[in-house]
Amino acid sequence: MAKIFQVSARAGMTRVVEPIARALLRAGVTPNAVTVAGTVGVLVGALGFGARGHLVAGALIVTVFALTDLLDGTMARMSGGSTRFGAFLDSSMDRVADSAVFGAVAYWLATEGDHSGVAAALVCLAAGSLVSYVKARAEGLGMTCNVGIAERTERLLIVGVGGILTGVGVKPALEIALWLLAAVSIFTVGQRMAHVYRQAQQLQPDGQA
């Protein structure tokens, strides 16, 4: 059911994004330019606002610019498909943006003396990197890894909701969101590793352990 909802939500967002993608392509904007602009926007939201305690503004800015993940992908598809460098750039910029978001959250929580929240943010940062790495490594070995309940969009959404609620006065919301995110991220790593293990077993020549 969660997967069906996720697919439906992405399909709905794609219908909204496609007209914007067409307009940008007509204006001569490249998918790579959108990727970099989106990352810069996330950095501004995370480091310029979130790290300074402006959680609502920071979360909203990060959310808006994180949606460029859909936009640059749609633009690449419309213009004939992603290039190797485009895919590399997109993945690299995602890691930069994610590090900024969780680094900013950890910094702000540290200034507030919330050591448990800092620990949760650091677990989220490490587990999020593992979620992405496991998929990239599997694909590099010729296998698929498109599974998991906490992909990048879902992770940013969870921390964003927690940040907004804390910003409007629900103080424990961010810490709760971070620990929830840490748990689902670790679970997703396990899902992906199990998925790759099953594929590897099927690809293993008979007689080999």
At 32-56, the pLDDT tens digits run 999 999 999 999 999 999 999 999 9
Residue among 69, 72, 90, 94 flagged as catalytic: 94
Looking at residue 148, what is its pLDDT?
A: 86
The CA–CA distances, whole Å, from 43 to 29, 65, 94, 121, 188 equal 21, 9, 11, 17, 25
Does the pLDDT value for residue 208 go beyond 80?
no
Looking at residue 195, what is its pLDDT?
A: 94
Domains and CATH numbers, the chain: 2-201 (1.20.120.1760)
First-last CA distance in the chain: 36
Q: What amino acid is encoded at 101 in this protein?
A: V
pTM reported for the whole predicted model: 0.85
Active site residue 94: yes
- Choice among 7-21, 105-119, 194-208 with the minimum mean pLDDT: 7-21
Give the list of residues 6+ apart from residue 124 with CB closer than 8 angstroms, or none. 102, 155, 159, 178, 181, 182, 185
Residue 48 · residue 57 · CB < 8 Å: no
